[in-house]
Structure 1
Amino acid sequence: MSSAVVPDHPWLLPGSLAPTSRAIRRTPRDWVVDALAFLLAIGWVVLAFTDSVRPDPQFALNTGPSWLNEVDLVLGATAAAALWLRRRWPVGLAVATAPLVLFSVTASVALLIIVFTVLVHRPLPVAAALVGWHLLSSPLYVMLRPDPVLPFWATTVWTLLFIGAVVAWALFVRARRQLVLSLRDRADRAEAEQQLRVDQARQLERTRIAREMHDVLAHRISLLSLHAGALEFRPDAPPAEVAKAAGVIRASAHAALQDLREVIGVLRAEPAAGGAPERPQPTLGDVPALVAESRAAGVRVSVLDEVVDATAVPAAVGRSAYRIVQEGLTNARKHAPGAVVTVRLAGGPEAGLAVEIRNRWPVGGPGSPIPGTGTGLVGVAERVTLAGGRLEHGRDADGDFRLAAWLPWPAS
């Protein structure tokens, strides 16, 4: 389980998460709250001391020897001033002022504020121990400082009610702050997860584009290399053939640059709603044009089409089949120039779509071998696996190189 998100305001940390090793910077709201707490505590000190020294003890809050009232005045003022330290050392302040619970009248408000602080900002066991000390000390306090009007039990009940009210209020504030922290943490986590999903989707999309770029550009550039190799091999070819080959080279180069420009534009641009639609992706119906393009480049390609209903092939399946044929033709031009390439398409709904590209083992040809990235078959294998199909490639018993794939074709 990951750690909780630390909020900007360190005083809002619940329980033991509150920082104690560094100074806490008060916000303007903290200064206002601390000032009000101090004024409330010091105001009670003045009021309690004034009532304790009245000539008529019947109207005094508590009775006791005169010297105790004077000492209580000093202790109450000290406890009120110490409230400015409650944010940094709440537990230490509670321990230091614990003896005052037994006899001090003037420090009562300051002591309740300290209890409130510990309950809100420190672990519950520590707060429970402090509250227990106050509850157990209440009867002793009433015995040492009896009320001149109320009986013992009534004074004890009132004291316990005040402590209970402070405890209930503090627990409410504690629960509310922890709820706010939890909601803030959830919001931060949700935002981070949403950003992660966006980044993953963007990365997957760019990976898909890169794969498409490899398939398209490898096909185009292999055509360029094939025609350039033919011109190099036959420098004395008739001008018409040279012009035709140069035209094919120019057209292939222009198409490759156009594809590259579009891909780079997509990779650089951030996804935005309402943008220009993507180019239509090739399907099984575009395989004849792909074969014709290879034939125009001088590759001997034979096609055996045994598909039951080519128009009913799902777009995703047809696109995968197109890319497999494209990769097979590209590899044949690279590694087996001059060899006859056989493309076979077969299948139907429920039976699946079978794609097979076969050519003789490399027999050599004009020009130098066309370099490649070596990841074409890896990309085809990944595409087939994602589609739920199977892929086989390698040399068969007849000595031919065979690239065969089966793609699922669900019945409509």
Structure 2
Amino acid sequence: MDATCTAPPRRRLADVLAVSVIGLFSAATIVGRQSSHGESDWLIFDVVVGIVAAGLILPLGRRPVPSALVLAALSTLSPAATPPSTIGTLTVAQRRPLRIAILIALAGVAGHLVQRLLRPVEGLSLPWYAVLDVAVHAALLGWGQWTQARRALVGSLRERALRAENEQGRRVAEARMLERTKMAREMHDVLAHRLSLLATYAGALEYRPDSSPEKLAQAAGVIRVGVHQALDELREVISVLRDGEIEEMPGGRPQPTFEDLAALVEESREAGTDVRYETSVGPVDSLPPATGRTAYRVVQEGLTNARKHADGQPVRLVVRGRPGDGLRIELTNPRSDGVPLAPGSGTGLVGLTERVQLAGGTLDHGVTASGEFRLHAALPWPG
């Protein structure tokens, strides 16, 4: 099927209007030529050339260069082809590179000069006709190239806007992924410690069923309170991360800080872990809050791992630091060959390493030559 038949209605209407307008210009040219020069013998020929030239406007949009060359050739025969040839030159200048547009413009200039030689115009010398011919085609060439450059600029700006929009979408996606990562890290740090404490008390109930009713009730009460605390902390973490704030918990309760280390150690001792805590820290008031929170998480993760993988073994915690020298945290505990108290995914230390690196510090962990597991963190503390 012909492409013209399948063209959208608006496109067909635009083509009909274009051909009609060009046909009217060609007819006006013929009438003006006949009235001013009395070339009645050329009337039928001009009408035929004008019809053919107007019809070539239809393929001009799909094949501008061949159509413009044919129109330039027709312009040598009759002034009726001048309006369509002008449109052809302008179309090529708007859609093709400058080199091709110049060649088409030169073809149009040559065609009109030949027409002038075959059918002279009274009252206008050949040199002046040539000047006007070149000026008109130069104007068409400049107009077309300006339109092409403007179209390219608009397309470039549109592409940049689309790329910026896509980039914004990518940044939003990355922000969401970062938020999910924060949520996973906070949930691990908060709940792993709490659940390991519950596992310790539950293990005591399982392996010491002969304990007195008072001790059993006390352990059950601790488990009940710990479960409520774990649920509250989970709810707080989710609500905090949903709001995009991690500096302060709902209700105005702040995140754990460096000053909460003593309470964390005491909580582990109450759960049965022998923690030997040594500290020598300078003025805590000058410690950056982010460094304090990171230090708390390091100790929390170290005590949790010791309780899960070496339950019943003593833990030595050393915290030293001062402004300008940084903050050093070291946890050591003997390895246990028994079954872990609670299964671990192995991702806690990975997330902790990333947290410490984001705070500007370093984290090392591994088994020493003496067979102990060692966790060491170095955090910045500006002077």
Partner of 2:32: 51
| CA–CA distance in structure 1, aligned partners of residues 14 and 237 of structure 2 | 60
TM superposition shift of 1:328: 0.4
Matches within 5 A, 1:80-119: 80-119=54-93
Compared CA separation, residues 323 and 91, structure 1 to 2 (3 A)? same
TM superposition shift of 1:374: 0.7
Compared CA separation, residues 394 and 24, structure 1 to 2 (3 A)? farther
Compared CA separation, residues 198 and 43, structure 1 to 2 (3 A)? same
Is 2:328 the counterpart of 1:392?
no
| CA–CA distance in structure 1, aligned partners of residues 362 and 340 of structure 2 | 33
Considering only aligned residues, what root-mean-square deviation do their CA atoms show, in Å?
2.8
- Structure 2 contact 92–101 (Cα < 8 Å) conserved: yes
Is 2:188 the counterpart of 1:207?
no
- Structure 1 contact 44–109 (Cα < 8 Å) conserved: yes
Is 2:21 the counterpart of 1:40?
yes
Is 2:226 the counterpart of 1:252?
yes
Partner of 2:265: 291
| CA–CA distance in structure 1, aligned partners of residues 240 and 322 of structure 2 | 35
Compared CA separation, residues 188 and 211, structure 1 to 2 (3 A)? same
Partner of 1:220: 194
SS in 1 for 2:79: coil
Partner amino acid, structure 1, of 2:207: F
Partner amino acid, structure 2, of 1:228: A
| CA–CA distance in structure 2, aligned partners of residues 387 and 270 of structure 1 | 22
Matches within 5 A, 1:54-93: 54=35, 59-60=36-37, 66=41, 68-93=42-67
SS in 2 for 1:107: helix
| CA–CA distance in structure 1, aligned partners of residues 253 and 82 of structure 2 | 78
- Structure 1 contact 337–363 (Cα < 8 Å) conserved: no
Partner amino acid, structure 2, of 1:77: I
TM superposition shift of 1:106: 0.6
Identical residues among aligned pairs (%): 44
Matches within 5 A, 1:142-291: 142-264=116-238, 280-291=254-265
Partner amino acid, structure 2, of 1:296: E
| CA–CA distance in structure 1, aligned partners of residues 113 and 212 of structure 2 | 120
TM superposition shift of 1:26: 5.8
2:293 to 319, 327, 335: 319
- Structure 1 contact 229–368 (Cα < 8 Å) conserved: no
- Structure 2 contact 362–379 (Cα < 8 Å) conserved: yes
Q: Which moved more, 1:75-84 or 1:212-221?
A: 75-84
SS in 1 for 2:204: helix
SS in 1 for 2:280: strand
- Structure 1 contact 284–319 (Cα < 8 Å) conserved: yes
TM superposition shift of 1:271: 6.1
TM-score, normalising length from structure 2? 0.89
Partner of 1:404: 376
| CA–CA distance in structure 2, aligned partners of residues 121 and 32 of structure 1 | 22
SS in 1 for 2:209: coil
| CA–CA distance in structure 2, aligned partners of residues 370 and 264 of structure 1 | 24
SS in 1 for 2:303: helix
Partner amino acid, structure 2, of 1:48: T
Is 2:302 the counterpart of 1:304?
no
Aligned residues: 377
Q: Which moved more, 1:328-337 or 1:304-313?
A: 304-313
| CA–CA distance in structure 2, aligned partners of residues 103 and 69 of structure 1 | 12
TM superposition shift of 1:147: 0.5
* Unaligned stretches of 5+ residues in structure 2: none
- Structure 1 contact 300–341 (Cα < 8 Å) conserved: yes
- Structure 2 contact 258–295 (Cα < 8 Å) conserved: yes
| CA–CA distance in structure 2, aligned partners of residues 23 and 300 of structure 1 | 90
Compared CA separation, residues 190 and 23, structure 1 to 2 (3 A)? farther
- Structure 1 contact 24–87 (Cα < 8 Å) conserved: no
| CA–CA distance in structure 2, aligned partners of residues 137 and 129 of structure 1 | 12
CA deviation string 1:207-263 (max 9, x = no partner): 122111111111111111111111001011112211221122112222222333344
| CA–CA distance in structure 1, aligned partners of residues 299 and 145 of structure 2 | 71
- Structure 2 contact 98–145 (Cα < 8 Å) conserved: no
Partner amino acid, structure 1, of 2:381: W
TM superposition shift of 1:372: 0.7
TM superposition shift of 1:69: 4.0
Partner amino acid, structure 2, of 1:147: V
Q: Which moved more, 1:40-49 or 1:86-95?
A: 86-95
| CA–CA distance in structure 2, aligned partners of residues 32 and 167 of structure 1 | 27
* Unaligned stretches of 5+ residues in structure 1: 1-20
Partner amino acid, structure 2, of 1:397: A
Is 2:309 the counterpart of 1:335?
yes
